[in-house]
């Protein structure tokens, strides 16, 4: 990833909003990041950060402790990885605004994703979050303040009234909050530069951008995770940002996620094309136009050996074969579909000979997948916290196992003594 890379900074993004890893796993994966050419990590803590005081309610059940944050920073230093923390400060505030005590700070009362930028309490909340994160990241050269996908901005009642007044606009509302957040970072931490996702800036006219203080305060991160980037369009966007007054720009690709919310396996070809096209974008511009690239890995969306490769191998088996093997038995096996259909199962009717054809197959299949599920659970527990392991198994493994168990239970009941109903099986 380094070598002749056009990017001086090469960051791997750790999205902790879903399936956050234990610190011991980071001690295994950080050396791999470094070996592949990364020189930094962008850590999106969300509710895994050990917020204190009145923000303690933001903590997840298995949130890192302050000592674990320090251990993460130590591990990063050992592997020559610069840590950039990410704190969402506008959109994607669900982990904050879902709490009843903070719900009054929503832009739209029904939706917990966007902060109301009109309330002083909103800005005070964001400042406190930033200060607590920075306290555990002293000397950080950059702080990412998010600000992407600020859905429903302008749709709250206060915003509607504000927008009715000339010359107020949604773009102006957006820039005002961004400026307030970035100004706090710059004033309180003079050696720290705010980074910001660029999507909310893209459609704002150049003269309105340059008329604000945002270009002097932040470095935007241009993100696009598609497999077919508009390279010329990216060059025009970069030119617009430069003319607006932004001194430094970053890029962001994706190594996983951003292609679907329920994927177990990463479409590698898609992400490889995405990375290669970002290299083309960088190659089409003067050197140092883009300060760095962030390889994002989003959560809520090979056989080589690496930390976690045992999990990958097991997940591949589950994803490709578990459900299909159970379907093959329950829905396409001629003995099951012909002699122990849903009709027969409800009435517990089966010829004794048919049991000998069905039961051994079902027992063998259940034993095979039970053993693999146990192996996968143990592997997951080494890396993830119990609630993450429970959710993944419940979503991806247990339903198929329960189908097999139900079949065997029905077989056992059908094979047992029963009252003569006068029906012939």
Q: Residues, the chain, total?
A: 425
CA distance 242 to 238: 6
Going by their DSSP bridges, the two strands 249-256 and 82-86 should be labelled as: unpaired
Instruction: Please list, in sequence order, all residues whose beta carbon lies within 8 angstroms of the beta carbon of residue 139, skipping any fewer than 6 positions away.
Output: 191
Report which of 386, 301, 381 is spatially closest to residue 18, judged by C-alpha positions: 301
State the catalytic residue, choosing from 149, 155, 179, 390. Answer: 149
Which among 125, 90, 47, 137 has a CA at the least distance from the CA of 385?
A: 47
* CA–CA distance, 186 with 214 (Å, rounded to integer): 11
Backbone angles phi, psi at 29, to 5 degrees: -85, -30
CA distance 234 to 252: 12
100 is catalytic: no
| SS3 label, residue 379 | helix
Query: Position of tokens 């390889």?
Result: 295
CB under 8 Å to 176, separation ≥6 — which residues? 117
What's the alpha-carbon Rg for the chain, to the nearest Å? 27
- Residue partners of 184: CB distance under 8 A and separation at least 6: 123, 126, 127, 130
> Could you give the 3-state DSSP secondary structure of residue 306?
coil
Active site residues: 149
């Amino acid at each position: 990833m380094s070598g002749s890379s056009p990017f001086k900074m090469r960051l791997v993004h750790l999205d902790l909003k879903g399936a956050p890893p234990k610190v011991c796993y980071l001690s295994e994966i950080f050396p791999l990041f470094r070996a592949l050419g990364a020189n930094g990590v962008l850590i999106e803590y969300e509710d895994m950060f050990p917020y204190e005081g009145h923000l303690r309610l933001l903590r997840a059940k298995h949130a890192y402790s302050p000592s674990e944050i320090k251990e993460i920073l130590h591990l990063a230093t050992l592997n020559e990885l610069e840590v950039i923390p990410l704190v969402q400060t506008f959109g994607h505030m669900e982990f904050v605004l879902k709490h009843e005590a903070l719900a009054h700070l929503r832009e739209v009362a029904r939706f917990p994703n966007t902060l109301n930028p009109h309330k002083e309490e909103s800005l005070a909340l964001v400042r406190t979050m930033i200060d607590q994160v920075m306290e555990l990241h002293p000397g950080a050269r950059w702080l990412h303040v998010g600000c992407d996908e600020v859905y429903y901005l302008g749709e709250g009642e206060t915003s509607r009234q504000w927008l009715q007044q000339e010359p107020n606009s949604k773009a102006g509302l957006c820039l005002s909050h961004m400026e307030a957040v970035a100004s706090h970072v710059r004033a309180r931490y003079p050696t720290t530069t705010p980074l910001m996702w660029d999507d909310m800036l893209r459609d704002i006219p150049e003269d309105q951008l340059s008329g604000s203080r945002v270009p002097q305060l932040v470095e935007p991160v241009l993100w696009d995770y598609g497999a077919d980037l508009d390279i010329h369009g990216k060059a025009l966007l970069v030119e617009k940002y430069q003319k607006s007054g932004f001194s430094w720009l970053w890029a962001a690709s994706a190594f996983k996620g951003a292609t679907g919310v329920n994927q177990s396996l990463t479409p590698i070809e898609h992400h490889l094309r995405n990375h290669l096209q970002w290299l083309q974008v960088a190659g089409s511009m003067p050197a140092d136009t883009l300060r760095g690239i962030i390889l994002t890995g989003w959560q809520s969306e090979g056989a080589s050996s690496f930390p976690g490769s045992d999990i990958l191998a097991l997940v591949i088996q589950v994803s490709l074969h578990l459900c299909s093997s159970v379907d093959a038995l329950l829905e396409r096996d001629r003995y099951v579909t012909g002699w122990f259909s849903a009709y027969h199962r409800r009435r517990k009717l089966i010829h004794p000979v048919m049991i000998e054809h069905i039961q051994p197959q079902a027992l063998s299949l259940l034993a095979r997948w039970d053993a693999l599920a146990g192996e996968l659970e143990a592997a997951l527990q080494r890396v993830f916290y119990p609630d993450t392991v429970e959710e993944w198994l419940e979503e991806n493994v247990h339903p198929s196992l329960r189908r097999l168990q139900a079949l065997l239970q029905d077989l056992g009941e059908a094979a047992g003594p029963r009252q003569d109903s006068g029906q012939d099986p």
